[in-house]
Homo-oligomer: A and B are copies of this chain.
Amino acid sequence: MSLREEIISVSRQLLLKEGFGKISMRKVARRADVTATSIYLHFKNKDELLLALVEESILKLGSELKAALKPDSDPIEQLKDLANAYIRYALDNPQEYEIIYMVRPEEMPKYPKEKFQQIRKVYELIAEVISRGKEKHLFDVDDELISAYTLWAQIHGVVSVVLNKRLDTRIPREKFLDQAVDHIIQGFVIQKTPV
C-alpha cells in the first residue's frame, strides 16, 4: 500500500471513530508512522485530503442507493425506496454522511467538475426514476433533473435536522422520518381524489 493510500485509510479510520472535525494532519501522520509534512507530498492541503474522503463517501452512498432500487417496482415505490435508503445510509454512517456536506474547501466554486461527476450519476439515477414516473403520468414534474435535486435536497434537510439533533424532543424520530418521506413523495405525485 502506497503512503497515499495509507494516509487515506488512516484518515478514514479517524473519520469513523471521531468524526471529520477531529481529523488533524499530525494525528493522521502519527498513525501512518510518518511526519505531518509528508502528507503534503501527496495532498496539496488538508482540504484535498478531506475531499478524497468525501469522494469515497459519495461513492458508497451512490452504491447503496443503486442497491435499493428494485427495477420492477413502480416509480413511486422506487422513489420511496431511494429516500429510505438515503436516510438509512445517513443515520447508520453519520460521520461519512456529514463529511459530504460539511467539508467546504475554499476553492469549491471553481472546483474541477470531474470530481463531482460521481455525484451527478446519483442525481441522474433519481432523475431516471422520476422520468419513468412522468411518462406513466404518475409524477407532476416540470424538469426532472431539477426535481431530482429538489428531492435530494429535501431528504438531506430531513436527515440533517435529525443528525444535528435539532429535532424537538417531543417528536419520535421514526415517526418524523416516515411522515417526512410521505410528504416529500406526495409533493411529486399526481393525486387522484377517489370520487
Residues of A bordering B, CB below 8 Å: 101, 104, 108-109, 113, 120, 123, 140, 142-143, 145-147, 149-158, 160-161, 164-171, 175-176, 179-180, 183-188, 190-193, 195
Question: Which 9 A-B residue pairings sit nearest by Cβ, starting from the closest?
Answer: A157-B157, A187-B187, A183-B187, A153-B161, A191-B191, A154-B154, A156-B157, A153-B157, A150-B180
State A172–B101 Cα separation when bound (angstroms). 20
Q: How far is the CB of A82 from chain B (nearest CB, A)?
A: 15
Looking at chain A's contact residues, the main secondary structure is helix
User: Does the CB pair B171–A145 fall under 8 Å?
Assistant: yes
Nearest B residue (CB) for A172: B146
Q: Contact check: which of B146, B166, B183 meets A154 at CB < 8 Å?
A: B183
Name the B residues within 8 Å of A157 (CB-CB): 153-158, 160
On chain B, the residues within 8 Å of A149 by CB distance are 161, 167-168, 171, 176
| A10 → chain B closest CB, angstroms | 24
Q: Contacts of A147 on B, CB cut-off 8 Å?
A: 179, 183
Known: A153-B158, A158-B157. A166 touches B109 (CB 8 A): no
Complex contact B183–A188 (CB within 8 A)? yes
Bound form: Cα–Cα A168–B109 in Å: 11
Q: How many subunits of this chain does the assembly comprise?
A: 2
> Cβ of A153: which chain B residues have Cβ within 8 Å of it?
154, 157-158, 160-161, 180
5 contacts between A and B (CB under 8 A): A149-B167, A153-B161, A154-B154, A154-B157, A154-B183
**Residue pair A154, B170 in contact (C-beta under 8 Å):** no
Shortest beta-carbon distance from A132 to chain B in Å: 18
Task: Report if A175-B191 is in contact (Cβ < 8 Å); known contacts: A101-B164, A104-B165, A161-B152.
Answer: no
